[in-house]
Structure 1
Amino acid sequence: MAWLALASLLVLAAPQPAAALDFATDPVSGYALGGNDPVAYFVDRKPRRGQQEHELRWRDTIWMFVNEGNRAAFEKAPRIYAPHLKGCDPTALAGGFVTIGNPSIFALHDGRLLLFHSEINRFLFLADPQTLLEGAHDSAERLGCAR
């Protein structure tokens, strides 16, 4: 019984992440996109790890950037650079369930950053993006993945 009380205290004392898992937030560090720069996906066409000296808090989540220019771009237009569907996998959403995307498995589609749980989901999405995106949007609000 004492171990249960101790375990409860440890859980309560543990640092809490900035947000649940919106925007593929790392549950340990609290960084969106696991610490990757959201603007880099558009500029460099690949994920790049941000630096702590260029971080910014937006929507109760901490975002990191590789430089001040990317930080400023995000600050001006966060909805453009933040993952669409709050980082939920659009293929899974189209199927009616929520899976948080992996910041390393992504696609840029119609000017939006989309994250996928797996390479297979990314492949399926790219085979029929319009249909799957429509299905994802239909489920997003109900499943907590709408902005």
Structure 2
Amino acid sequence: MKRLMIFVAFFMSSLAFAQDEIYTGYFSSKALSGYDTVAYFTDHKPVEGNAKFTAKYKGADWYFVSQEHLDMFKAEPEKYAPQYGGYCAWAVSAKNDFASADPKEWAVVDGKLYLNYDDDIKHKWDQDPALHIKQADANWPKLISK
């Protein structure tokens, strides 16, 4: 029982800390779980990156499939990095909160990459992406400054 209470206290105290600007998960420093963020724009699908082609950006490690993609990202990281730091775009919009995102649940809208938690959430996002983008754009600055 004592161990459970210590675990709960530790977990609850970790929720009080600010979120990282880029979502990497708890035990990783990989942005997009190691998927190549440029590939969403060039290949129009999620593609796992390669550890031979990495960059550090906003405290996270970004993986790419080729030197070409790495160079493209380095030249314009804001163009290729997912919106809302790669957190679930629907959660930022609808819940005004952080949630993890699955790199396989994605959309490019007006040249920007958005990720969502899972297929069900992506379906909710797809009902009105323009509204969710508007809401998330308004919520994001306050969320990230917490």
Q: Same fold (TM over 0.5)?
A: yes
Residue identity opposite 2:142 in structure 1: R
When the two structures are superposed, what TM-score results if normalisation uses the length of structure 2? 0.79
Q: How many residues are treated as equivalent by the alignment?
A: 128
Could you tell me the percent identity over the aligned residues? 27
For 1:75, the equivalent position in structure 2 comes to 74
CA distance in 1, matches of 2:73, 2:29: 18
Query: Please, what is the CA RMSD of the aligned residues?
Result: 2.0
TM-score, normalising length from structure 1?
0.78
* Residue segments in structure 2 that go unaligned for 5+ positions in a row: 4-18
Deviation readout 1:112-135 (Å, 9 max, x if unpaired): 110101212211222211111111
1:121 aligns with 2:86: no
Q: 2:136 is matched with which residue?
A: 136
Q: Which amino acid aligns with 2:103?
A: P
How far apart are the structure 1 equivalents of 2:20 and 2:104? 15
Using the TM superposition, give the Cα deviation of residue 22 of structure 1 relative to its aligned residue in structure 2, in angstroms: 4.3
Write the distance in 2 (CA, Å) between the matches of 1:137 and 1:122: 17
User: Per-residue displacement from partner, 1:2-29 (whole Å, max 9, x unpaired)?
Assistant: xx8xxxxxxxxxxxxxxx6544314334
Q: Following superposition, which runs of at least 4 residues in structure 1 exceed 2 angstroms of deviation?
A: 20-24, 26-29
